[in-house]
Amino acid sequence: MFVLLSGASLLFLREDALAEPVAARSVWQRFNLYKRLSVLFTNQRLKFLLFVSTSFSLAVDIFYQFAPVYLTEKWTLAPSDLIIYNAFLCVSLAVGNGWLAGYVSRQFDRQKAVIFSTTAVGALLVGIILAESPFVMFLLYGSMGIVIGLAVTLLTVKISDSVSDAIQGEVLGVQIALRVLGEALICLLGGVLLLISPKLVLGLAAMMTGLAMLYYARRAPAY
């Protein structure tokens, strides 16, 4: 797939000339995340949205990385069983990221949709912790993809809308950089909690989701 994508990029992607010359920046200037954040965070709405998005994304990453461990510990699932769980999750993610996000954006207020979807993620995480039936667990696990996809897409669109077209690429790159940086910390913390109980790891994800939702619900009207 990587080889095919590389070939397609060479054949079909064009780099149009910029209308105005852009001052050259060194490699250090381009990768100095702290400096770039200091500049971007002068936009208070962007700062608020990036904080919410990063917090929620880290909670989602905890689920991605440690939910299979929890399923294995609770139900002694075989690798083939985990494939079925993850296949259901991937299909529901495609629905949440694709058709559903566009439909919700057209039919409902995005702010309320973000609050609803993030709340649903937290509730489903709690449900997964409490579920005692494999069938119920399967439904909850798969349903997570729909609301995760919806929340992540809506938050990313709001971040994109909060800045001008000229810096959207940089802003979305910073969003990914913050998520990757946080993942390293999450792996360490999640690994420690996993030694105590897998439930604690998912509980942390539920708590982070709830706090991100409450912060967004309280501050969003101001932005």
For residue 145, pLDDT beyond 60 = yes
What percent of the chain lies above the pLDDT cut of 90? 59
Which pLDDT tens digit goes with each residue over 7-24?
Answer: 999 999 887 765 555 566
pLDDT attached to residue 17 = 63
Instruction: Give a yes or no: residue 6 inside a domain.
Output: no
In terms of residue numbers, what domain contains 68? 45-218
What are the percentages of helix, strand and coil residues in the chain, rounded to 5?
85, 0, 15
pLDDT, average across residues 72-84: 90
| Prediction pTM value | 0.85
Instruction: Give a yes or no: residue 10 inside a domain.
Output: no
Please state the domain count of the chain: 1
CA distances from 73 to 82, 134, 144, 186 (A): 12, 13, 20, 20
For residue 83, pLDDT beyond 60 = yes
Instruction: Give a yes or no: residue 52 inside a domain.
Output: yes
pLDDT attached to residue 211 = 96
Which pLDDT tens digit goes with each residue over 173-223?
Answer: 888 988 888 888 888 888 889 889 999 999 999 999 999 999 999 999 887
Contacts of 66 (CB under 8 A, 6+ apart): 190, 194, 198, 201, 202, 205
CATH code of residue 144: 1.20.1250.20
Which pLDDT tens digit goes with each residue over 22-31?
Answer: 566 666 666 6
